């Protein structure tokens, strides 16, 4: 007797019949055989692969590579491309013009294959399909959408996810100005994708080889625009710094920009500088993760560096580290909030110097440091707090700078309406060099910030789960009974963003205000199986802020221990 439910077996066989990828066909065929022979683990794996579809939402698609409707693979990507094409033909066709779609890809496994499949299906649907000339950073794709006045762009990447993941990020042109999709476009595109999937065999989808390859000039124009963000000041001469691409695609593009902007070349983390989708030297290719920057620290100690710059694998995020004798190893990673506040300070000061503050704004996600609002107030700029994600931040009216604490920074909104780790790296080199020119360090700048705007401190507590239903259970428990205190500090009030608060679109977020002015925000991660708690305090002194954030973090961890 077969160990496989007949409906599940039929789903798997239907998938096998249309899958153009020999590797995933063989993978699924072997799994199906083992399951039918009574292998319980194989049967469970098979059921998981067809337990619904990998959901298409405001982050596009992202998931583990493999066969099945609940994995990233060529069948799913072809369905997504055909669904997006139908959406564009139905919604974006002014004056009968043929919509243009730009497709880019990074160095992850199958990124190039998924990109080529998508471009051929876009062309087959009657769209003008343009494929970027080689693997490139995500910000170059975001730039190209605006450069070509395209109707849409697709970037095949899973950013900093684990090695066996890939993803499909969608941008829209026109009134969206090259930003990532938001509601209702995401639901409309998802409905078209579901309709394509319901039609059956992807082999029936029209394809065309009439795909244009973008010229290198589009990359050159991105390089020129980004080098202009922060031409090297006098203090740049002799700057000793280290760079790691985290096995991603950032270095080839950044190298040109560093040269054109006039900065000295960095010492490279050689083991991580070339694209490698296996990410062999890191457990997670995310500079936020413990251990991910150990090789950069080692290189910095060897060369006597003053600064470390790191990008994540698709180079849309930036990490920074500075010397600090008070910590083990002598190097300290700056938090995403610290980097964001320095970059925001730079943007606001430049706007004020140029007399361009009228209607200009700073923006950050609601989980990012409230210090950005203090900067905006100091310089007479508008300030906007948004839901998490650059799909929201980039849409802030009058934005001149935006950031989120997860190492994402938008420093050049005239050319890229998304986080851009490369332009942020150039801006950070400019900040460090300007300080260096007057005998100061980045650490000195952090102290100057405290003296100017107040001492802000942030922290994050999170749990990674194997069963994502655990996250829903914890959020439900918090909604059912709000905590009365976090540690020794009483909770003053709670905002539930599912109910709509302060003009935010509804979201699965709880915001707790404590009686001492501290803030705690709880939300599920949008890209990983994590529940995250974001903590923020402000005090008159750095020591006071550090003491308060440590106590708040201890209280948050105790709360999670009780609920997990």
Q: Are residues 41 and 144 in the same domain?
A: no
Q: What CA–CA distances, in Å, run from 426 to 76, 102, 422, 435?
A: 37, 25, 6, 14
- Whether 61 is covered by a domain: the verdict is no
What pLDDT is stored for residue 94 in this prediction?
64
223-262 residue pLDDT tens: 999 999 999 999 999 999 999 999 999 999 999 999 999 9
Structure tokens at 255: 């190298």
Q: Are residues 178 and 195 in the same domain?
A: yes
Q: Are residues 229 and 360 in the same domain?
A: yes
Q: Are residues 246 and 344 in the same domain?
A: yes
Q: Are residues 460 and 436 in the same domain?
A: no
- The neighbour count for residue 439, using CB atoms within 10 Å, is 8
Calpha distance 51→70 (Å, rounded): 6
What pLDDT is stored for residue 141 in this prediction?
98
Helix (H) or strand (E) holding 442: helix 442-453
- Whether 263 is covered by a domain: the verdict is yes
What pLDDT is stored for residue 47 in this prediction?
94
Q: Are residues 449 and 463 in the same domain?
A: no
Q: Are residues 210 and 315 in the same domain?
A: no
Structure tokens at 51: 């337990």
Q: Are residues 42 and 103 in the same domain?
A: no
- Give the rounded percent of residues in the chain with a pLDDT score beyond 90: 91
Structure tokens at 365: 């996600």
User: Would you please indicate which residues are annotated as catalytic (active-site) residues?
Assistant: 159
Is the pLDDT at 124 greater than 60, yes or no?
Answer: yes
CA atoms within 13 A on the CB side of 317: 22
Confidence bin at 388 (pLDDT 50/70/90): confident
Confidence bin at 1 (pLDDT 50/70/90): very low
What pLDDT is stored for residue 515 in this prediction?
96
Q: Are residues 356 and 207 in the same domain?
A: no
| DSSP characters over 295-332 | HHHHHHHHHT-SEEEEE-TTS--EEEEEE-TTSGGGEE
What pLDDT is stored for residue 264 in this prediction?
98
Q: Are residues 169 and 303 in the same domain?
A: no
Residue ranges making up the domain that contains 20: 1-51
What pLDDT is stored for residue 468 in this prediction?
85
Rounded to a whole number, what is the largest CA-CA distance in the chain?
Answer: 79
- Whether 57 is covered by a domain: the verdict is no
Q: Which is higher by pLDDT, 458 or 507?
A: 458
Is the pLDDT at 59 greater than 90, yes or no?
Answer: no
Calpha distance 455→449 (Å, rounded): 8
- Whether 56 is covered by a domain: the verdict is no
CATH label of the domain that carries residue 502: 3.30.310.50
CATH label of the domain that carries residue 81: 3.40.120.10
Question: Looking at 403, 424, 453, which one is the last position of a domain?
Answer: 453
Nearest to residue 117, comparing CAs of 150, 80, 143? 80
pTM check: above 0.85: yes
Q: How far is CA 80 from the centre of its chain?
A: 20
Q: Are residues 435 and 529 in the same domain?
A: no
What pLDDT is stored for residue 516 in this prediction?
94
Q: Which is higher by pLDDT, 334 or 499?
A: 334
Calculate mean pLDDT across residues 112-125.
98
- Whether 60 is covered by a domain: the verdict is no
Q: Which is higher by pLDDT, 506 or 179?
A: 179
136-195 residue pLDDT tens: 999 999 999 999 999 999 999 999 999 999 999 999 999 999 999 998 999 999 999 999
Is the pLDDT at 58 greater than 90, yes or no?
Answer: no
Total number of domains in the chain:
4
pLDDT, averaged across the chain: 95
Question: Looking at 453, 480, 511, which one is the last position of a domain?
Answer: 453
- Contacts (Cβ under 8 Å, ≥6 apart) of 138: 104, 106, 155, 157, 159, 169, 314, 315, 316, 418
Q: Are residues 235 and 321 in the same domain?
A: yes
Q: Are 135 and 111 in contact (CB under 8 A)?
A: yes
Confidence bin at 506 (pLDDT 50/70/90): confident
- Whether 498 is covered by a domain: the verdict is yes
Q: Are 335 and 405 in contact (CB under 8 A)?
A: yes
Alpha helices in 92-227 (DSSP H): 111-124, 138-147, 185-199, 216-227
Burial class (CB in 10 A: 0-12, 13-18, 19+), 305: buried
Is the pLDDT at 527 greater than 70, yes or no?
Answer: no
Q: In what order do the strands lie in the sheet with 307-311?
A: 267-268, 241-244, 307-311, 318-323, 331-333
């Amino acid at each position: 007797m077969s160990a496989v439910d007949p409906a599940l077996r039929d789903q798997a066989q239907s998938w096998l019949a249309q899958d153009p990828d020999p590797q995933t066909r063989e993978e699924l065929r072997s799994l199906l055989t083992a399951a039918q022979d009574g292998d319980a683990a194989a049967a469970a794996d098979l059921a998981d692969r067809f337990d619904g579809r990998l959901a298409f939402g405001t982050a596009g698609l992202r998931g583990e590579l493999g066969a099945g409707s609940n994995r990233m693979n060529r069948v799913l990507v072809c369905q997504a491309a055909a669904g997006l094409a139908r959406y564009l033909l139905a919604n974006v066709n002014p004056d009968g013009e043929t919509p243009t779609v730009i497709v880019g890809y990074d160095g992850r496994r199958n990124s190039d294959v998924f990109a080529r499949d998508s471009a051929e299906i876009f062309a087959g649907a009657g769209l003008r399909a343009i494929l970027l000339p080689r693997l490139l950073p995500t910000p170059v794709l975001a730039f190209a959408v605006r450069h070509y006045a395209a109707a849409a762009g697709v970037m095949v990447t899973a950013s900093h996810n684990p090695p066996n993941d890939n993803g499909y990020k969608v941008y829209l042109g026109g009134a969206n100005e090259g930003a990532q999709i938001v509601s209702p476009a995401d639901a409309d595109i998802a409905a078209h994708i579901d309709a394509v999937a319901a039609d059956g065999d992807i082999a029936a989808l029209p394809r065309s080889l009439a795909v244009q390859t973008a010229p290198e000039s589009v990359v050159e124009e991105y390089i020129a625009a980004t080098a202009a963000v922060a031409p090297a000041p006098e203090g740049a001469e002799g700057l000793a710094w280290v760079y790691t691409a985290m096995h991603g695609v950032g270095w080839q593009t950044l190298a040109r920009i560093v040269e054109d902007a006039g900065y000295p070349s960095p010492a490279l983390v050689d083991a991580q500088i070339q694209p490698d989708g296996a990410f062999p030297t890191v457990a997670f290719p995310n500079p936020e993760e413990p251990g991910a920057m150990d090789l950069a620290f080692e290189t910095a100690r060897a060369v006597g560096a003053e600064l470390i710059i790191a990008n994540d694998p698709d180079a849309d995020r930036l990490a920074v580290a500075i010397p600090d004798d008070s910590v083990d190893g002598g190097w300290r990673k700056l938090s995403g909030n610290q980097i964001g506040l320095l970059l925001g300070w730079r943007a606001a000061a430049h706007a004020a110097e140029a007399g361009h503050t009228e209607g200009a704004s700073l923006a950050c996600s609601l989980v990012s440091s409230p210090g950005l609002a203090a900067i905006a107030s100091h310089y007479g700029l508008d300030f906007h707090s948004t839901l998490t994600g650059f799909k929201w931040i980039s849409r802030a009216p009058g934005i001149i700078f935006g950031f989120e604490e997860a190492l994402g920074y938008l420093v050049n909104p005239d050319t890229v309406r998304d986080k851009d780790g490369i332009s942020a790296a150039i801006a950070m080199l400019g900040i460090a060099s300007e300080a260096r020119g007057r005998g100061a360090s980045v650490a000195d700048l952090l102290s100057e910030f405290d003296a100017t705007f107040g001492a802000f401190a942030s922290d994050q507590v999170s749990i990674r789960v194997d069963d994502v239903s655990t996250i829903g259970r914890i959020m439900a428990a918090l909604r059912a009974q709000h905590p009365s205190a976090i540690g020794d500090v009483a909770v003053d009030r709670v905002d539930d963003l599912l109910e709509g608060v302060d003009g935010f679109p509804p979201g699965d977020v709880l915001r707790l205000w404590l009686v001492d002015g501290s803030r705690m925000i709880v939300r599920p991660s949008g890209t990983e199986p994590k529940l995250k708690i974001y903590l923020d305090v402000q005090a008159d002194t750095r020591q006071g802020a550090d003491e308060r954030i440590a106590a708040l973090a201890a209280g948050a961890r105790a709360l999670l221990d009780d609920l997990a």
